[in-house]
Amino acid sequence: MIRIGTAGWSIRADLADRFPGNGTHLQRHARRLGAAEINSSFYRPHRRSTYERWAEGVPDGFRFSVKAPKAITHEHRLEGCGALIDRFAHEIAGLGPKLGVVLVQLPPSLRFDEAVATGFFQDLHARTGAAIACEPRHASWFDGTADRALAAIQIARVAADPPPAAGADSPGGWAGLAYYRMHGSPRIYWSDYEEPALEALAADLAARERRGADVWCIFDNTAAGHAAHNALRMMDLSRKKQPCVSPPAATG
C-alpha cells in the first residue's frame, strides 16, 4: 500500500476544483488522497471526541498519522513521560482503525541513547497499538547502530527532505514501514517540488512498496500551499508505477 497525503488538510483557493464536492476541507481532502498527518497534536492536546469526529468524516480506507506532543519529545526528551503517553494514547484512540501511524519527531539536539529509545518506543507502541515512525535530527541516529536498534523493535525511521544529516533522506530502521516527510527543498516548508524530483520520488516509493513495505508519503511544504498540489501529482505518478495506491476509496 502506498498512502499519499499532506500535513493537515487545508485546501488553497486555486486548488478547490481539484477537491470537489461539499463538506469540510478534511472530507474533500479524503476523497482525493489516502492519508493526512495531524501536526497540531504536537502543539496542543485534542479531545478524544475531536479525533472521533475526524475519523467519522473520512472514508473507511483513509488513515491518519498523528504527531506525538512536544511535551514528550522536546520537554521530557522521551524519559519519564508515562502519564503523557497515556493521555495521548487515550485521545488518539478516538481515531479507531483509522489511526495508521504515530510520528515521533525528535529535537535536533537529542542524541541516540539505545536504552532510552528502546524503552520509550516499546512503551509508546504498547499503549497506542499503532505503527511508529521516528524522525530523528541528530547525526548520532544515522551511523547504523540506531537503525539496527530501531529495526529490532519494529520502529521505522523517517526519510526526510531536506535531510538533517547524511543518510536521513532514505528510510531506515524497520523495513515494514517506509515513511517519507517532504518538507520542501531548498527552502523548507516553502519550496515547491518540481517534476523531476517528484518522478524520482515516485520511483522510490514504488520500489519500497514492491519490497513489502507500507509506504507513506507526506508533503509538509504547506507554507505557500504547495503540499496539496504536490500530493495530487504524486498520486498520478505513483499510479503509473504501482497500481496499489490509496484511495480514492468508497466512502464509509
What is the domain partition of the chain in residue ranges?
Answer: 2-246
The answer to whether residue 201 scores a pLDDT higher than 70 is yes
Identify the pLDDT of residue 242: 60
* pLDDT tens digit sequence for 28-86: 999 999 999 999 999 999 999 999 999 999 999 999 999 999 999 999 999 999 999 99
Residue, of 53 and 248, whose pLDDT is higher: 53
Dist CA 151 CA 239 (whole Å): 29
Of 167, 107, 175, the residue nearest 135 (C-alpha): 107
Q: Which residue has the cell 496539496?
A: 228
DSSP state of 104: E
Neighbours of 164 (CB within 10 A): 16
**pTM higher than 0.75:** yes
Are the C-beta atoms of 236 and 201 separated by less than 8 Å?
no
The answer to whether residue 252 scores a pLDDT higher than 90 is no
The answer to whether residue 209 scores a pLDDT higher than 50 is yes
Identify the pLDDT of residue 246: 66
Alpha-carbon radius of gyration of the chain: 17
Domain 2-246 CATH class label: alpha beta
- Secondary structure class of 252 (helix, strand, coil): coil
Residue 46 cell numbers, joined: 485534542
Identify the pLDDT of residue 74: 98
Residue 85 cell numbers, joined: 503517553
